[in-house]
Structure 1
Amino acid sequence: MCDEGGLIARNPVIRGFAPDPSLVRAGDWYYIATSSFEWFPTIPIHRSRDLAHWEYAGHVSGAVPGNSLAGVPDSGGIWAPSLSFDGATFWMVYAIVRSVGTPYFDLDTYVTTAPDPTGPWSPPRRVPSHGFDPALFHEAGRLWLLNLQTDHRPSGNRFSGITATQLDRTSLTPLSPTHLLLQHERLIEGPKLVHRDGWYHLILAEGGTGFDHGVLTARSRALTGPYELSARPLLTSRDAPSLPLQKAGHAELVETTSGEWFLSHLTGRPLPTPSGPRCTLGRETAVQALEWDTDGWPRLRGGGWHPAETVDVTGARTAGEHDAPASPDNGPHTPVPLTWPWSTLREPPSPTWADTTSRPGWIRLRGRQGPESRWAQSLLAQRLTEHHAVAQVTVEARPVTFTQAAGLMLRYDGEAYLSLDVTWAEPEGEGQRGQQWRGEGRTVLSLVERDETGAREVAVVDVDLAEPITLGVSVEGPEARFWYLRGDTYTPVGPALDASRLSDDHGDRLRFTGTLVGIHARDLVDAAFTADFRDFRLECEELPQRSSRDRYGVS
């Protein structure tokens, strides 16, 4: 937005699940790469000409060798990519983490390059893999790999310091022994390096990625150290729990064409709940204005270290105009593009299970494994970007057994989801005695909620599936209400459910992603059952939504 000729960025600038932003400027464009974890497309990239308005620009295609993250646990996969530009080529370095919640992260670090962030990206090459959150630093033709060192030993410090290794720019093999740059009694990770006025500045994520998160800086006259730590954080919200932007940390600095400085960082917008604050949208991307104090340390412009919701980014504007992305024509006879903002789990969408051509205007999903599988889920989902949202979709399906289902799902991960599915059930009051193989039974809507204690069927509603049925969900802060439409008749399904469990902060297991809503199908026996979907709509608003009745004009 503009303010009396100025330009104001409103944080978060990339809203909904967009963590660990890596910011770089190349010419008149700013680019941000974010973590994708177990989701495809891998490493989404957004671009802007002014730091205030951002658009999706593509992703790093082929980032995962074999294009599969099958078996990777929830919140595993691609952590904290780092994007850099050497004046001619774009570089991306990132870790693929295959174990979560153990001392062994079982990770591989890869580097890929491209002439433009839209690609094509080179096949990834493995480099020394000391830990997650790697970064590259380019200086006078030299290439340095920065990393976190992890120590898996029972007596070791899992986060045992920041390292630097010089790499050959062509072969990516080490040219020097690894240097230990800095250790600290608090958890530090996510190193980035800036060279300014004879100082090498380490920009470090500190305190973990939850509500204790922050940004710490250190500096040295030599790249390999020793480094002096700043006496105060550059950015944090841990001492101000009432701020609307929490978890502020994991920063990267950028200089504008006019010589001003800004930083990107992750943040979360918590919902207040009886169980404490919960960030159902995951960690998001924000920007702040930066200045350098008289002693040569980076500081937030205006003083302090708390993240601001609005930031004057007038000095970040470049010469080009902001380009609005074209909207695809999804008419009734046009194949539905399965591109951004659609995301899929652990593999890209494939016509073998997500078919958009057999029935133009529809998406045909072939059911595969269940919603807790780490291997082959038929799921297409989009990020929630606000705490108030409405999603709906029309589905046509003919399940003939309880192992077949298709519907609408709010999902955080395999232990946290809410799902309204078209499926089959035995005649009312009867147990399972093979009725499905005798052509007996009924078609129903089944509402299921899943948390760390297991799955529960909350409601079952008999429905006639002779015609397509529209399923919907309304998210109002910490609550989700499911419903269906048949003609002009709106019918709630079950009670309001606790959507705050779909968050980074529920439970005691590490969680790093965010809530998505989407369509899915399963067939646990034959992987042959199909369901057709059309007219998927997702509307997200900052303020409370109108009721579903008001929104859709139904009674």
Structure 2
Amino acid sequence: MMIHNPILRGFNPDASAIRVGDDYYIATSTFEWFPGVLIHHSKDLVHWRPLTHVLTRESQLTLRGIPSSGGIWAPSLSYDEGTYYLCFTNVVGRKGVYKDLHNYVVTAPSIEGPWSEPIYLNSSGFDHFLFHDSDGRKYLFNMQWDFRKGKNRFAGIIMQEYDPREQKLTGPVKLVTQGTNIGVTEGPMVYKKDGYYYLLVAEGGTGINHAATLMRARSVEGPYEIDPHYPILTTKGHPEHPLQKAGHGSLIETQGGEWYMVHICSRQLPDGSGLSPLGRETSIQKLSWTEDGWLRLASGGRLPELQLPAPALPAHPFPVEPERDDFDETKLSVHWHTLRTPADPSWLSLTERPGYLRLRGRESLYSLHRQSMAARRVQSFRCEVETCVAFEPANFNQMAGLVLYYDDQDHYYLRISHDEELGKHLNVIVSDQGQMDELDAKVVTGWERVYLKASFDQDKLQFSFSPDGLSWQPIGPELYTGLLADEYKNKLSFTGAFAGVCAQDLNGTMQHADFDYFVYREHP
């Protein structure tokens, strides 16, 4: 049995992995999307399924007003004596030299919850990890941010003891490493084996210079010596490799003593742009220990593998996910997220019109506060999404339709609206770095239902529409999917493309739109 990378496709970065008994779990970042932190589950490291979310209520996570690519950064998952721990950072500001952020931990008796209210930890930096030592003491590790002129912004990895009874950090803050000459040291993960404390860090930044570096010490406080053959993993200098941005690792030991590392990667468009609308994904690599106690890729070298041997575990596939969601349940499936706010009955309902997802229009697609949007990850370069909407706008301030969303500045929108001259009509909205254009209006007056589709083919995207879901015609020009990527026009962002449905009512009257179904279908 072989593992095929990426194991978590589409926007699933900053993987933090643990094993509890025979079960494997990975937590990934969700940034401005609600609920916060997606947990994935496997029993064989080959087959994975999205299982649950951790931060499901606003008392745990407030995202209103946070900037795009802010919110949840690099959660870390751990387990100790019957309790699951999840550390997370909420980045509420990221402009200029400052990072306004707050670090918390939540706990649960089961991976599926219920998860506690958050306990505040610190705000000195991001990417924090709670290590449970064998003597019962607990230590928080995180990178330290230094905004001062002339200083290294990534100012090293610091640690402080955590008192679980008092539920707070205690004692002195200690600098344990400033990293290697690769720089941009972050993402600390700590493990204990054979008398050593191993510190695994991400370096090089989360772009094409990304890497994973291992250090070790006899004491949890250090000093930490650097692996003489660092880094363990990187694709720096290999632009031809299909898994770019390889780094930010997390270690797992199987029941049989085999070692693996999950890590960030990115698959790029074939047009040479270096862009990936799928965002940063998660892959896994098999490791081996050297005689002198360092980890290496089992395949040799530092480059990740697309295919690798699975561990000696029974195969455990999960049921195939249906392509079509008919909105027949009373709550959204685990695939869906809403933007910055939870799915509140005041604006989203699956019961007011059974078999439909009803959205009540709120603020515009540029809003950082109260959008009415439900969306899921795009996970393949060749796929299509489809929906059917019943919507009767009364004026130009009321809109609803199919959205392909990277962030508030960059998105595509096939929307239904109303115009004094055209009446009820469709058109394509392009927002490119915040500059909006309206393309190719089609009149749909008298249509009770409008079928909408978007087809992805590598770097090309085409919208189409239909009166019956059978005969389709294109609308608008062929569009560039690179607009939905992290580094489009050199912006520094961290999420990935989402496809979904949305509604706006800029009059404030919350006119509703009813979506009958949503299809996400991948093509070879």
TM range (shorter): over 0.9
Secondary structure at the aligned position of 1:187 is classed as coil
1:534 corresponds to 2:516: yes
TM-superposition CA deviations, 1:472-513 (whole Å, max 9, x none) = 110111111001012343211011011111101212322111
What is the aligned counterpart of 1:496 among 467, 478, 497?
A: 478
The aligned counterpart of 2:92 is: 98
Secondary structure at the aligned position of 1:60 is classed as strand
What is the aligned counterpart of 1:257 among 247, 255, 258?
A: 255
TM-superposition CA deviations, 1:316-371 (whole Å, max 9, x none) = x26x9555489799768x44631321111111111111111121111111000000
C-alpha separation between the residues in 2 aligned to 1:394 and 1:384?
19
Bigger shift: 54-63 or 179-188?
Answer: 54-63
TM-superposition CA deviations, 1:261-291 (whole Å, max 9, x none) = 11110111011335x2111100111111011
Q: CA deviation at 1:215?
A: 0.4
C-alpha separation between the residues in 2 aligned to 1:234 and 1:63?
38
Q: Is the 8 A contact 1:55 1:324 kept in 2?
A: no
The aligned counterpart of 1:388 is: 382
The aligned counterpart of 1:126 is: 120
Bigger shift: 147-156 or 341-350?
Answer: 147-156
Structure 2 residues not aligned, in runs of 5+? none
Q: CA deviation at 1:156?
A: 2.6
The aligned counterpart of 1:294 is: 291
Count of aligned pairs: 519
C-alpha separation between the residues in 2 aligned to 1:118 and 1:100?
31
C-alpha separation between the residues in 2 aligned to 1:346 and 1:168?
32
The aligned counterpart of 1:202 is: 199
Q: Is the 8 A contact 2:15 2:282 kept in 1?
A: yes
C-alpha separation between the residues in 2 aligned to 1:499 and 1:325?
27
Relative to structure 1, the CA distance from residue 10 to residue 330 in structure 2 (aligned partners, 3 Å threshold; closer, same or farther) is closer
Q: Give 1:186-225 correspondences, 5 Å limit.
A: 186-225=183-222
Structure 2 letter corresponding to 1:269? R
Q: CA deviation at 1:426?
A: 2.9
Q: Is the 8 A contact 1:167 1:174 kept in 2?
A: yes
Q: CA deviation at 1:222?
A: 1.5
TM-superposition CA deviations, 1:56-104 (whole Å, max 9, x none) = 2211134753643100000000100000011311111111001124322
Relative to structure 1, the CA distance from residue 323 to residue 458 in structure 2 (aligned partners, 3 Å threshold; closer, same or farther) is closer
Structure 1 letter corresponding to 2:192? H
The aligned counterpart of 1:230 is: 227
1:306 corresponds to 2:303: yes
Secondary structure at the aligned position of 1:14 is classed as coil
Secondary structure at the aligned position of 1:258 is classed as coil
Structure 1 residues not aligned, in runs of 5+? 1-6, 428-440, 544-555
What is the aligned counterpart of 2:428 among 426, 431, 447?
A: 447
Relative to structure 1, the CA distance from residue 489 to residue 511 in structure 2 (aligned partners, 3 Å threshold; closer, same or farther) is same
The aligned counterpart of 1:43 is: 37
What is the aligned counterpart of 2:150 among 150, 155, 158?
A: 155
Q: Is the 8 A contact 1:67 1:347 kept in 2?
A: no
Report which of the two structures shows the higher radius of gyration computed on alpha carbons: 1
Relative to structure 1, the CA distance from residue 230 to residue 76 in structure 2 (aligned partners, 3 Å threshold; closer, same or farther) is same
1:507 corresponds to 2:504: no
Q: Is the 8 A contact 1:448 1:458 kept in 2?
A: yes
C-alpha separation between the residues in 1 aligned to 2:325 and 2:409?
34
What is the aligned counterpart of 1:350 among 336, 344, 353?
A: 344
What is the aligned counterpart of 1:174 among 166, 169, 174?
A: 169
TM-superposition CA deviations, 1:146-181 (whole Å, max 9, x none) = 000111222332110001111112223233201100
Structure 1 letter corresponding to 2:447? A
C-alpha separation between the residues in 2 aligned to 1:498 and 1:95?
33
1:407 corresponds to 2:401: yes
Identity %: 39
C-alpha separation between the residues in 1 aligned to 2:323 and 2:484?
30
Q: Is the 8 A contact 2:326 2:518 kept in 1?
A: no
Q: Is the 8 A contact 1:396 1:465 kept in 2?
A: no
What is the aligned counterpart of 1:482 among 463, 487, 496?
A: 463
Q: Is the 8 A contact 1:384 1:540 kept in 2?
A: no
More strand by share: 2
CA RMSD of aligned residues (A): 1.9
C-alpha separation between the residues in 2 aligned to 1:357 and 1:18?
30
Q: Is the 8 A contact 1:135 1:145 kept in 2?
A: yes
